[in-house]
Amino acid sequence: MTAESTEANADTLRLELHKVLTEIFHDGVGLVETNGVLKAIDEAVTRILTFLGKVESKKPPVEVPKEFICKLSKTIMIEPVIIASGQTFEKKHITKWLKHNNTCPETKTVLSHLCLTPNHSINELITQWCLVNKYDRPDPQPSDEIVIEMFTGDIEPLLHRISSPSSVADQIEAAKELALQTSKFVNVRDFFVKELHDSITRLLTPLSNLGDEVDSNPELQENILTSLLNISTVEKSQKVIAENPLVIPLLTKSLRKGTDQTKAVSAATLTSLSGIDSNKIIIGNSEALKALIDLIRDSDDLSATGEAGYAVLNLCSDESENMEKAISEGLILALLKKILAGRNVENMVSILASISTNNQAKEKIVELGIVCDILKILRNTSCLLTGENAIEILFKMFDTIRGTARLRILQEEELLYKTFTKLARQGSDRAARKAQEILQWMEMFAEKEKRQKMLELAALN
């Protein structure tokens, strides 16, 4: 809109306002009732607003400065990022471009790296301009992020930004990018440990330096530990990672202090590292085992408790010393607490079934009086897998020791609820076979008791 047209519209508006107010004044003189004056004013205001609407509708749309426009999308930038050539583009569109090209779309030069750096300066300028001009700038939309595999030469600078950051914001951005890279690309995971000097120490030092305040920057903590989890899936790197003096203590702290997601990631990393027998000993001799059991007992997050449970299971597999430690640290009581609370029952019963082959575990289950609780689960569950695992626990407990008191518990359950008969007919194949065997035990037990009574009667006669 030109200066002349703006002035003309202003003059027109002044004339209209003068005309309306004059009418109100003259009409008001002849009005006796105040309501009549008010009505005239209301009508006049409506006319003014209508006229203002017409003036506003004639205004041309605000022109966005060309510096704020992405050269790929031709629209205002929402998440501006800088590429290696120094040019700024909208993140979503330049990411798609780089998926198939290694050149700058503006200068056509080959890029030295494919890192994307947020352009905070231009983003702030756009934000301020939009506020001043009342421009409706779209919010960033969540979407499936396209991740481009970095050149191996780009990983070292990325790690440097994490270990020696220029700012906290840049450190978090670098940690997030590394988490994405190690999640998507095996080559990056392999290269990180194999080719980068002291990479694990450099990655974890920012969190280690926080000491007990490891969770003071949750986003940084989560991204660094997610990177560690991704890297730990490379089998040939697992020994080196577990033997690093920062790793197990930091994972232990993060099991205790961090978001639910961070706790789940820490537990999953311990599961991954415990794939090697020597690592099971390292982890078992640390505080990590107790921290995992505490997490199972105290957390209400299904993902975190599930990951912690499977980490303990992995650590105790073929490692009797770890199993004894886990039981003495309260593993069975922690599992029972979750089962009775109805939290993550399927996973918790599955873990309990896996450890119930251990004689110490069997004794602890009996000591805690968990048999009746397992029978309740077996009686009420609609999940075939949970039913299968629950009867597996009972079967292992009663298979070697079928004392009178124990068998009588099963007999009472069958008499009151027909639990084993139902399971033999409706359970999974495996559960049905176990139920049939338990029914046979009870039949033999009943026959034995019958013979015993007959002998006692004969002796009396």
Cβ count near 203 (within 10 Å): 26
Residues of the chain above pLDDT 90, percent: 51
Tell me the per-residue pLDDT of 30-65, one tens digit each, with 9 for 90 and over.
444 555 655 666 666 677 667 666 655 555 678 899
pLDDT of residue 370: 82
| Distance in angstroms (rounded) separating the CA atoms of residues 202 and 204 | 6
Residue range 74-96: mean pLDDT, rounded: 90
Average pLDDT for the chain:
86
Report yes or no: 296 and 309 within 8 Å, Cβ to Cβ.
yes
- Over 90: is that where the pLDDT of 230 sits? yes
pLDDT of residue 55: 56
Tell me the per-residue pLDDT of 251-287, one tens digit each, with 9 for 90 and over.
999 999 999 999 999 999 999 999 999 999 999 999 9
pLDDT of residue 459: 81
pLDDT of residue 138: 87
Residue range 310-335: mean pLDDT, rounded: 93
Tell me the per-residue pLDDT of 17-31, one tens digit each, with 9 for 90 and over.
666 656 655 655 544
Q: Give the chain as a 3 state SS string.
A: CCHHHHHHHHHHHHHHHHHHHHHHHHHHHCCCCHHHHHHHHHHHHHHHHHHHHHHHHCCCCCCCCHHHECCCCCCECCCEEECCCCCEEEHHHHHHHHCCCCECCCCCCECCCCCCEECHHHHHHHHHHHHHCCCCCCCCCCCCCCCCCCCHHHHHHHHHHHHCCCCHHHHHHHHHHHHHHHHHCHHHHHHHHHHCCCHHHHHHHHHHCCHHHCCCCHHHHHHHHHHHHHHHCCHHHHHHHHHCCCHHHHHHHHHHCCCHHHHHHHHHHHHHHCCCHHHHHHHHCCCHHHHHHHHHHHCCCHHHHHHHHHHHHHHHCCCHHHHHHHHHCCHHHHHHHHHHCCCCHHHHHHHHHHHCCCHHHHHHHHHCCCHHHHHHHHHHCCCHHHHHHHHHHHHHHHHHCCCHHHHHHHHHHHHHHCHHHHHHHHCCHHHHHHHHHHHHHHHHHHHHHHHHHHHHHHHHC
343: alpha, beta or left? (left if phi > 0; alpha if psi -120 to 50): beta
- Over 80: is that where the pLDDT of 437 sits? yes
pLDDT of residue 148: 65
Tell me the per-residue pLDDT of 400-411, one tens digit each, with 9 for 90 and over.
556 677 788 889
Terminal-residue alpha carbon distance, the chain: 122
Tell me the per-residue pLDDT of 331-378, one tens digit each, with 9 for 90 and over.
999 998 998 888 888 889 999 999 988 888 888 887 887 888 899 999
Return the minimum-mean-pLDDT range out of 88-92, 327-331, 358-362.
Answer: 358-362
Residues of the chain above pLDDT 70, percent: 84
- Over 90: is that where the pLDDT of 289 sits? yes
Cβ count near 88 (within 10 Å): 23
| Distance in angstroms (rounded) separating the CA atoms of residues 177 and 79 | 15
Cβ count near 441 (within 10 Å): 19
pLDDT of residue 2: 47
Tell me the per-residue pLDDT of 130-189, one tens digit each, with 9 for 90 and over.
998 889 888 887 655 556 667 778 899 999 999 999 899 999 999 999 999 998 888 899
